[in-house]
Amino acid sequence: MVNFNIDSKAKNTYDAIVIGSGASGGWAAKELTERGLKTLVLERGRPVKHITDYPTASKAPWEFQHLGTLPLEKKKGISETSFLREETIHWALPDEEQPIVQEKPFRWIRGYHEGGKSLLWARQTQRWSDLDFEGPQRDGFAVDWPIRYKDIAPWYDHVEKFIGVSGFKDGLPNLPDSIVQKGFDLSCVENHFKQSVESNYKNRNVIGARCAHLSDPQEIHTQQGRSRCLSQRMCVRGCVYGGYFSSNSSTLPWAMKTGKLTVKTHSVVHSIIYDESKKKAIGVNIIDAHSKEMIAYYAKIIFLNASTINSNAILMNSKSSRFTQGLGNDNGLLGTHIAWHNYRGSASASFDGLKEFKTEGGSPTYAYMPRFRNLYEQETNFLRGYAVGVGGGRGEYSSKDGIGDELRNNLLSRKLGDWHLSTWMMGETVPVKENHIRLHESLKDKYGIPQIVFSCEWKENDDKMVEDFKTQMGEMFERAGFKNISVRDSHNPPGADIHEMGGVRMGKDANTSLLNEWNQLHACKNVFVTDGACMPSVGTQNPTLTFMALTARAANFAVDELNRKNL
């Protein structure tokens, strides 16, 4: 039996373990395997192989039994509404898979399958600038970032070259230029809005939003087996062309080609194993989703990329005599200062002009207005600021009047309507300690893991930011000659727009943060957290590009430290 145990442990031992197979987990796998490490990726959901496992990709509406609408019986037991259509129901998570406790309302959108939310994201890739990295230092909320733009800039380059980013060179100090392929042109109504905004306001720009879509594939993308984006705009179903970046089309198969990667799906991570004699983590306990058996895997370094909330929860559940409050949680801050993006504000309007143009086809991206509030001085009654997404088009309509032949003829007589423009805010919430998650003391899920308690809410700063967006957006529409202007506050609960961050934040001081500048736990140096959990603040840009750059940076540092025998 002793020999059996030794053999079993050897079989389950790797150089590195990566928890999570999404955007950041895929990058950890790629970098670690390229550097020669035998790497295990643990994914709690089912396998999804590129091309073969996208069941609704490119399907026309009439190919669905109910033209996309999901019958009521198939919606039972699923609270999350994002994927409740025939095209996307295969991504939905049944409530019984991981029940949560909402002490305060919170919408938690998850991607429990191989590739994670890299198959579901909006693919927006705007860089951060020092305006973002220095935000907490300027206004005193949260802790100062331990890095600046110069530290991550080479890793932005590294990631962008590999994933492929379309866009333009905009020359804006608050939104550093990326390495881009040809951008997707704005529509005529988006261009009209751009010209009005830039002529009427200082420090306000409307640009083509950069996105992880291939408009001009390079050799590195051909080697990945990916081809040009065809602008089908059905990306959330999965792209058989690999036109946009996902772990499934890019980093995971790239890592697999090294011969160093093993992916184990249906592996629900229970905890990280800490060895008190060695004073470091030595492995990961998982629950097999089918057999419910506890299995241990071992490695020299561990990358935690389970997505923000689960990365926090896994550390909380990783308790030992040394870490009674959770792995690395000496200061009691684990799970606190959770923040997210504020999408509550939206606006729309129509434009009675440009009738000589009509819309044919579409773009996988949209126009984008980088943050313009509180850029260089505190000018409003709220901290930080918001970016604005801008999307426009011209639809067709037909009269539904009449009956019989008259109705049929009216329906067939389609007319072009006015041009319209929609905008939505992406505001920066300021992390505060009260906004937190924790593990329930008694309630557990079907795997025997404590349920997560959400205790997060909007603050006065967020409300003021939404009101400012509504005021500014109405004014910008009016100056641009739009009509039928509508500005709204959805009052959606936190989390509705996926970008939750924080809880395991980076920092310079172990008393006020959990990770150092290399994303290592201060108190357990061979554990790295490089997904959204590591963020001290949330900026206004879509965050995934920054997660990937931080991951590539940390993974290469980890291998160097391993080679120096420092881990």
pLDDT in tens, 11-48: 999 999 999 999 999 999 999 999 999 999 999 999 99
pLDDT grade, residue 1 (50/70/90)? very low
Q: Which pLDDT belongs to residue 415? A: 77
CA 286 – CA 267 distance, rounded (Å): 6
Residue 51 — left, alpha, or beta (φ > 0 → left; ψ -120 to 50 → alpha)? left
Q: Which pLDDT belongs to residue 2? A: 43
Q: What are the CA-CA distances from residue 121 to residues 171, 236, 319 (Å)? A: 26, 7, 33
pLDDT grade, residue 6 (50/70/90)? low
Q: Where are the domains of the chain?
A: 174-210+341-428+458-493
pTM over 0.75: yes
Q: Tens digits of per-residue pLDDT, 58-103? A: 898 889 888 888 888 888 888 877 788 999 999 999 999 999 999 9
- On average, the pLDDT of the chain sits at 94
Q: What are the CA-CA distances from residue 375 to residues 174, 340, 396, 493, 552 (Å)? A: 8, 20, 40, 27, 29
Q: Does residue 4 register a pLDDT over 60?
A: no
- Which of these, 142, 79, 137, lies nearest to 107 by C-alpha position? 79
Q: Which pLDDT belongs to residue 358? A: 79
Q: Does residue 10 register a pLDDT over 90?
A: no
Q: Which pLDDT belongs to residue 361? A: 66
Q: Does residue 183 register a pLDDT over 90?
A: yes
pLDDT grade, residue 320 (50/70/90)? very high
Q: Which pLDDT belongs to residue 360? A: 62
For residues 521 and 514, is the Cβ–Cβ distance under 8 A?
yes
pLDDT grade, residue 5 (50/70/90)? low
Q: Which two tokens stand for residue 551?
A: 């991951």
Q: Tens digits of per-residue pLDDT, 362-378? A: 889 999 999 999 998 89
CA 518 – CA 538 distance, rounded (Å): 18
Q: Which two tokens stand for residue 161?
A: 């070259």
Percent of the chain with pLDDT over 70: 98
Helix (H, G, I), strand (E, B), or coil: what is residue 474? helix
When pLDDT is averaged across residues 478-485 and rounded to a whole number, the result is: 97
When pLDDT is averaged across residues 322-340 and rounded to a whole number, the result is: 98
Q: What are the CA-CA distances from residue 257 to residues 40, 50, 334, 348, 464 (Å)? A: 14, 14, 37, 47, 51
Relative orientation angle of helices 460-479 and 188-200, to the nearest 10 degrees: 100
Q: Which pLDDT belongs to residue 152? A: 98
Q: Which two tokens stand for residue 17?
A: 């373990």
The residue type of 541 is Q
CA 302 – CA 275 distance, rounded (Å): 13
For residues 480 and 196, is the Cβ–Cβ distance under 8 A?
yes
For residues 567 and 525, is the Cβ–Cβ distance under 8 A?
yes
Q: Which pLDDT belongs to residue 83? A: 86
When pLDDT is averaged across residues 267-289 and rounded to a whole number, the result is: 97
